[in-house]
A and B are shown apart, each in its own frame.
Chain A
Amino acid sequence: MNAAEPVLAMRDVAIEIGGARVVDGVSITASAGRIVALVGESGCGKSLTALSILRLLPKAARFTGGTVELGGRVLSAMSEEQLAGVRGDEVAIIFQEPIASLNPLMRAGEQVEEALRLHRGLGSAEARREAIAMMTRVGISDAERRAEQYPFELSGGMCQRIMIAAALICRPKLLIADEPTTALDVTIQAQILDLMRDLRQSAGTAILVITHDMGVVADLADDVCIMYGGRIVESGPVDAIFEEPRHPYTKLLLATIPKLDGPRKVDLKTIAGVVPAAGTWPDGCRFRNRCPLADEACATVPPLVEVGPDHDTACWHSTRVAELA
């Protein structure tokens, strides 16, 4: 996707839950200063994919194949102790529930300092100074006073900023943001997105955003990976994906976004059928039972092939996608 040395390189990652391949051959690369969006419906495996980077999968899930590299080092071959040193230091995570992500009994400042104390062993005065500097950087005004406050005294947007400050305090190479704006109202959402854009530019952090909100993707991402049924069905630069989708799922997904300037009193578009439960996918292309273009060819798994500059799609009929309304 980018000529620079990638910060994150996942190759052919596979995860199984109870024998079902819920993540199947997923490859994602993210370079410094780029924002990659991982998009898909609930249950398509996008969160599992992200959690597998730091080997934080829930107990039921098993990492069964592939490699994860961070700045050239193979994370998937590291020991638990080595990984504990990477977590929160070189790779940080933020969640979608900003208020629940902060310990209600700890002052905001202490929580921002936590990673510094864990990974850098700083004294309390120095850690506090850095924490306040980082809080100011993520747009918290009056940071000295905020650092002394408890989460219940802060608004949701403020909590999200605290959480981002806590995630960034060790200046990670990679930030994983799992639906970072879902719980926020649109004004705060826009501010948080601005903040992430700013970070990407000023700190050169690679950001992996997990979302199902196409608005966020269009607004924020440089590159997009569309997931369906545990596989990446299309990936490429955000403009190419939005202007000329080459996979029927992407095309239909984009068509479901309601448009304010379109005709009124028209039914919202939907994709026929429902997402099959994990393990009940059809053979071959996992989207074929809902795909209007499906035929016999789709019984064979389509490979991810290049259809444009850095633009890949996994569909036998990628040339006919434009026909879809």
Chain B
Amino acid sequence: MSGLVAQRITFSQALVKTSRWWPVALIAMFVAAAIFAPLIAPYDPNAQNLVGRLKPPGTVSRTFHYWLGSDELGRDVLSRIIYGARISLTVAFASVILSGAVGVCLGMMAGYRRGWVEMVIMRVVDVFLSIPAILLAIITVAVLGPSLLNVILVLVLTRWPRYARVAYGQTLAVANMPYVRLSAFMGASATRVLLRHVLPNIIGAITVVATLEFGLMVLFEAGLSFLGLGVQPPTASWGAILSVGRNYLANAWWIATLPGACLFLLVLAINLIGDFVRDYLDPRIH
């Protein structure tokens, strides 16, 4: 009997251990697919086959074997998802990291320095939050032209205030803690105080914001591309496949559903990793 119980505990422990690692494995898989897309994808993502249009998953048409079906131009959905991961992951990682870095730096400065620094930074944040993201995107693209780099630029420009606000509020709370004041009293520079004492204590909240933003970034890239402001057709991105597939949802569900499922899994994995990282950074929990 006791043997059974012991076995059950180890089984559930094993389950907990695996459940921590599968999001990492999943993201590793997506990243690998993006990097090695030309080796993995069965076909050229832009190769058309007008005879084999809107074929359901598993169809064999001419030389194509559509594992995940074909789209309205007879392109292989699987190949397009694999190639699309390149654009979607690049945009999501780059924009989250860049806007996070900008927002957190400015937010911490505003919360720690106070005075006119706080005044200027937080009013700029308000201004940026009040400009509709789409308007800013259209202006940027009108000036710089549509490209992957400009999509990232637009996302950084419109998303950094979210991080700045959270970092600012958290810094305000932490900056008055005696250990932060004491560190300054001990002769530590502002940079050192911020990096050693403030940042580690606010990174948990920032991680939560970043994981939420990550999924949004993939969707925003899709929205911008849909409006013709992002990557241009026929380049595949998950968002682009999704928005085209929506038109055919009634008779070809696989075009929109499958990249959507990938997006769902990616965002879920990122959120789970975010939780894990947040707990890991808190010595009281791990």
The residue that B182 contacts in the complex, of A95, A105, A106, with Cβ under 8 A, is A95
Question: CA–CA, A103 to B196, complex, Å?
Answer: 9
On whether the beta carbons of B186 and A115 are closer than 8 Å, the reply is: yes
CA distance A238 to B227 in the complex (A): 81
Compute how far the CA of A152 lies from the CA of B282 in the bound complex, rounded to whole angstroms: 11
Interface string of A71-90 (1 = CB under 8 A from B): 00000000000011111110
| A89 to B, closest residue via Cβ | B187
Q: Are B283 and A59 in contact (CB under 8 A)?
A: no
- A93–B185 alpha-carbon span in the complex (Å): 7
For B185, list chain A residues within 8 Å (CB). Answer: 54, 56, 87-88, 93
A299 within 8 A of B: no
Q: Does A212 contact B (CB under 8 A)?
A: no
Known contacts A95-B178, A101-B182, A102-B179; is-contact A115 B283 (Cβ 8 Å):
no
Contacting residues, chain B, for A87 (C-beta < 8 A): 185-187
Is A130 positioned at the interface, with any CB of B under 8 Å from its CB? no
Indicate the member of B178, B188, B281 with the most A CB atoms within 10 Å: B178
What is the bound-complex CA distance between A35 and B283, given in angstroms?
38
Q: How many angstroms between the C-alpha atoms of A92 and B182 in the bound complex?
A: 9
Residues of chain A within 8 A (CB-CB) of B283 are: 104-105, 150, 152
Q: Which of B178, B183, B186, B201 has the most CB of A within 10 A?
A: B186
| A101 with B189, Cβ < 8 A, contacts A59-B115, A150-B283 known | no
A114 interface neighbour in B114, B188, B281, Cβ under 8 Å = B188
Asked if A197 is an interface residue, CB under 8 A from chain B, the answer is: no
Chain B 249-285 near chain A by CB (<8 Å), digits 1 or 0? 0000000000000000000000000000000011110
A11 within 8 A of B: no
Interface centre among B114, B182, B184, B192 (most CB of A within 10 A): B182
B-side interface mostly? helix
Q: Which residue of A lies closest to B199 (CB)?
A: A105
| B179, B187, B200, B282 pick with most chain A CB within 10 angstroms | B187
| Chain B residue contacts of A95, Cβ below 8 A | 178, 182
Do the beta carbons of A103 and B186 come within 8 Å of each other? no
A222 contacts B by Cβ under 8 Å = no
Complexed CA–CA distance, A274 and B115 (Å)? 34
Q: Answer whether residue A100 sits at the interface, using C-beta atoms and an 8 A cutoff.
A: yes
A106 to B182, CA, bound (A): 14
- With a cutoff of 8 Å between Cβ atoms, the chain A residues found around residue B197 in the complex are 103, 106
B177's partner among A56, A100, A106 (CB-CB below 8 A) is A100
A119 contacts which of B177, B184, B187, B196 (Cβ < 8 Å)?
B187
By the criterion CB–CB under 8 Å, are B284 and A152 in contact? yes
Residues of B within 8 A of A163 (CB): 182
B-chain residues with CB within 8 Å of residue A105 when the two chains form the complex: 200-201, 281-283
A-B pairs under 8 A by CB, number: 68
What is the number of residues of chain B that contact chain A, defined by CB distance less than 8 Å?
23
Report Cα–Cα, A158/B84, bound state, in Å: 56
Alpha-carbon gap, A166 to B180, bound state (A) = 14
Bound form: Cα–Cα A106–B187 in Å: 18
**Given the interface contacts A101-B178, A105-B201, does A88 sit within 8 Å of B187 by beta carbon?**
yes
Residues of A within 8 A of B284 (CB): 104, 150, 152
Task: Please judge, given known A-B contacts A59-B115, A152-B283, A152-B284, whether A103 and B187 are in contact too, CB under 8 Å.
Answer: no
Q: Does A307 count as interface, using CB distance less than 8 angstroms?
A: no
Q: A104-B201, A105-B201, A105-B281 are in contact. Are A93 and B182 (CB under 8 A)?
A: yes
A95 to chain B, nearest CB (A): 5
In the bound complex, residues from chain B placing their C-beta under 8 Å from that of A118 are 186-188, 192
A213 contacts chain B at the CB level, 8 A cutoff: no
Q: B285: shortest Cβ distance to chain A, in Å?
A: 11
Q: Is A97 an interface residue (CB 8 A)?
A: yes
Shortest Cβ gap from A260 to chain B (Å): 33
CA distance A100 to B185 in the complex (A): 15
Please determine whether B186 and A114 come into contact, CB atoms closer than 8 angstroms. Answer: yes
In the docked arrangement, what's the CA distance between A95 and B188, Å? Answer: 17
CA distance A33 to B114 in the complex (A): 39
B residues 151-198 with Cβ under 8 Å of A?
177-180, 182-189, 192, 196-197
Contact A85/B201 with A93-B182, A105-B283, A152-B284 known, Cβ cut-off 8 Å: no
Q: A161-201 CB contact bits vs B (8 Å, 1 = yes)?
A: 00100100000000000000000000000000000000000
Partner of A97, one of B178, B183, B192: B178
Q: Which of A84, A89, A114, A150 is packed against the most chain B CB atoms within 10 Å?
A: A114
Q: Do A115 and B187 form a contact, CB below 8 Å, given A103-B201, A105-B281, A105-B283?
A: yes
Bound-complex Cα distance A41 to B231 (A):
69
Complex Cα gap A85–B188 (Å): 9
Instruction: Tell me the bound Cα distance from A308 to B284 in angstroms.
Output: 56
CA distance A90 to B166 in the complex (A): 37
Report Cα–Cα, A310/B124, bound state, in Å: 59
Return chain B residues, CB-CB under 8 Å to A150: 283-284
By the criterion CB–CB under 8 Å, are B201 and A84 in contact? Answer: no
Question: Which residue of chain A has its CB nearest to the CB of B188?
Answer: A118
The answer for the CA separation of A95 and B192 in the assembled complex, in Å, is 21
Q: Which 10 A-B pairs have the closest CB atoms?
A: A88-B186, A87-B187, A88-B187, A101-B178, A84-B187, A150-B283, A100-B178, A103-B179, A105-B200, A95-B178
Q: A86-B187, A104-B284, A152-B284 are in contact. List 4 more A-B contacts (CB 8 A).
A: A89-B187, A103-B197, A104-B283, A150-B283
Contact sample, A vs B, 5 pairs, CB 8 Å cutoff = A59-B115, A97-B178, A100-B177, A101-B178, A118-B187
